[in-house]
Structure 1
Amino acid sequence: MDGSIASILALDGITNGAVYALLALAIVLLFAVTRVIFIPQGEFVAFGALTLALLQTGAVPGTVWLLLLLAAGVALGELVNGWRQRRSAKALLLAALRTLAWPIAISLLTIWAAPRHWPLLAQAALTLAVVTPLGSLVYRAAYESLADASVLVLLIVSVGVHFVLTGLGLYFFGAEGYRNPPFWDERFNAGPLMLSGQTLIVLAASFALIVMLWLFFERSLWGKALRATAVNRLGARLMGISSGSAGRLSFSMAAFIGALSGLLIGPTTTVFYDSGFLIGLKGFVAAVFGGLASYPLALVGALGVGLLESFGSFWASAFKEVIVFSAILPVLLWRSLRDPHGEEH
């Protein structure tokens, strides 16, 4: 291996690591706020890429029907719970309308816009608008009633949610894979490197989103509320911060990050309904480097995972996944030796 090959592999690893960094941030955010180890984070990646791919063909993406199905299920559950609590009919109707309004509105817009072949950026924005609400709906359907359960119970629920979303992905998208067009189809020479416009888009978008997340948590009231919930759930409740609202917001943010990641990697690889699992798992490995608590360490871990995957594919392409996932073992061993008697809080 000479310097030119090493630089090419390093660029590829950094590009993939930037996407894994976004997923790691989402996983750390969800665990800090809700104590959920969200295994299905990668499903949002696949849904984002596949939604845009179907919009490119002029077809209505299956995400629309999934969104309506989840919204109807959540609304029905709220009506049943409200009826058991003897709430008024007006309150029940308003709650159902709040749940259904955005999913119905964005679904109708997508059904109308799909055959009109909007520009790529407009279709990407529409994709984000469709996939992002899925996060809040998944939280309300699967996790909200179990908010005070143990981490183990929430992990088991995450495994079930993963299989459900994967099955729904197969039903709504089919087994066929799709590859999206690049957002910027240009080539630039930088010494031995050939930089594509899509690579620059991935790096710029990842950096911009990381900066926006930092500003959100440091400067906005909602961000500070999420930080307070992550530090002390009971204390946040006593200060009037709803843990349910914090969970919905954090899951919506995770869905947005996942969908954006899907848009970024869609032009670089063929995405299938189940492709998100491996991608999300690499983000999880990066999050474990940060102990599911440290955002900076998760970013470093994500870049390390990307570089390890890139160089591993060069030296032993058949075992690159084994190499990446084996890297988690010394990290877990080191953390268990540092804190052998850690208790759940």
Structure 2
Amino acid sequence: MDATILLILVQDGVVNGAIYALLALSLVLVFAVTRVIFIPQGEFVAYGALTYAALDTGQLPGSVWLLCGLGLAACVCGLWQQRRTLTAGATTRLVLQTVVLPAAITALAAFVAPRKPGVLIEALLALAIVTPMAPYLYRVAFQALAEASVLVLLIAAVGVHLAMVGLGLVFFGPEGSRATGFSDAVLSFGALTVQGQALWIVGLTVVLMGALYGFFEFTLFGKALRATAVNRLGARLVGIATAQSGVIAFTLAGAIGALSGVLIAPLTTVYYDTGFLVGLKGFTAAIIGGLASYPAAALAAILVGIVESFSSFWASAFKEVIVFTVIIPVLLWRSLRSTAVEEDE
């Protein structure tokens, strides 16, 4: 291996690691606020990529019908859960959020898609279609289980993942798709060439991480999420709506997943079930970071990306095995350092 190959492998690892970092941050966020290990995060990557690819070809993506269906389900669940305290104003807000909003997005997509307005509008529209699915899923599958154990929430997350994979096959079909990149520029640095899309991925990842830092440090909603993550009962006692915190956390996770899918769609062919493997690598980074530290999760994601890149070069047939094996010594080290704690009854 010479220096040129080394630089190419590191570059690929950093680009892949940037995507894994976004997913790891969203997984840590959701777990910290709701205690949900959000296994379906990878499906939002696939949905975002396939929705963007459909819009890029001038077609109305099937995900708009899934959005409407999830919105209706969230509306019914919300009306049932709040049936004893429901007011006219609350009912109106719920209908606007879960019925009117999906219908408006669907109408906009039907109007815009055939006109092929360009990659920026298509990317924003894909985010608008996929992102609301996450809070709808929270209302349908997780909000009623907010006080359940982590194991129950994990089982629910696995069920949601399996359902979303099947729905992805129904609404997108078995064929893979690619889309137009944000930039077709190619920059040369000596023997190393860097694609413009790779720069977009790394740049947007850095910007988004900075935006999340500002959100948590300087906004009221961000501080409410931090308080809910530290002590859910204490946050409720001081007037923070922990259910609303869960909605915000899932919305951010859905937006991050959809954005990750939009970013990788020009680089690789994405299928309806591609997201699980991508999300699992983000989950590996989140576990290495302890499901608690955002900087540690981001650094671990870069490590996972570099390990994957070098594994592809040296032993491509076993690259997935090598990547997921990285988590074993970390778990052993954490288990040796931690003390046994009996679960509360």
Normalising to structure 2: TM-score of the pair? 0.97
Q: Distance in 2 between matches of 1:300 and 1:90?
A: 45
**Structure 1 position 33 matched with structure 2 position 15:** no
Give the SS at the match of 1:234.
helix
Distance 2:15 2:86 in 1: 52
For the structure 1 residues 87 and 4, does the alpha-carbon distance in structure 2 shift closer, same or farther, using more than 3 Å as the test? Answer: closer
Q: Which stretches in structure 1 are left out of the alignment for 5+ residues?
A: none
What's the CA shift for 1:246?
0.3
Q: Does structure 1 retain, via aligned residues, the 8 Å contact 2:174–2:272?
A: yes
Structure 2 CA distance, aligned partners of 1:60 and 1:251? 25
Q: 1:322 to 1:65 in 2, by over 3 A?
A: same
**Aligned-partner SS, 2:147:** coil
Aligned to 2:234: 235
RMSD: 1.4
Q: How does 1:2-151 map to 2 (within 5 A)?
A: 2-83=2-83, 85=84, 87=86, 92=91, 94-151=93-150
Shift of 1:62: 1.1
The Cα of 1:198 is off from its aligned counterpart by 0.6
Deviation at 1:92, TM superposition (A): 3.9
Spell out, residue by residue over 1:75-133, the C-alpha distance to the aligned partner (whole angstroms, 9 max, x if none). Answer: 122334444x2746775455333422211111111111111111110000111111111
> What is the identity, as a one-letter code, of the residue corresponding to 2:329?
P
Which amino acid in 1 is paired with 2:3?
G
Within 2, Cα distance between the matches of 1:312 and 1:38?
Answer: 27
The structure-2 alpha-carbon separation of the partners of 1:14 and 1:86, relative to structure 1 and needing over 3 Å to count, comes to closer
User: Counterpart amino acid of 1:311?
Assistant: F
Tell me what 1:212 maps to: 211
Q: Is the 8 A contact 1:79 1:96 kept in 2?
A: no
**How many residue pairs align between the two structures?**
344
Deviation readout 1:20-79 (Å, 9 max, x if unpaired): 000000000000000000111000000000001101111111110010000111112233
**Could you tell me the TM-score, scaled by structure 1's length?**
0.97
Structure 2 alignment gaps of length 5 or more: none
Which segment drifts farther, 7-16 or 103-112? 103-112
Match of 2:258 in 1: 259
Aligned equivalents of 1:79 and 1:231: distance in 2?
Answer: 30
Going from structure 1 to structure 2, the CA distance change for 1:167 and 1:2 (only over 3 Å counts) comes to same
Contact 1:78 1:96 in 2 (8 A): no
Percent identity (aligned): 56
Whether the 8 Å CA contact 2:9–2:309 is kept in 1: the answer is yes
Rounded to whole Å, the distance in 2 between the matches of 1:86 and 1:223 is: 27
Q: How does 1:294-305 map to 2 (within 5 A)?
A: 294-305=293-304
* Alpha-carbon distance in 2 for matches of 1:87, 1:238: 22
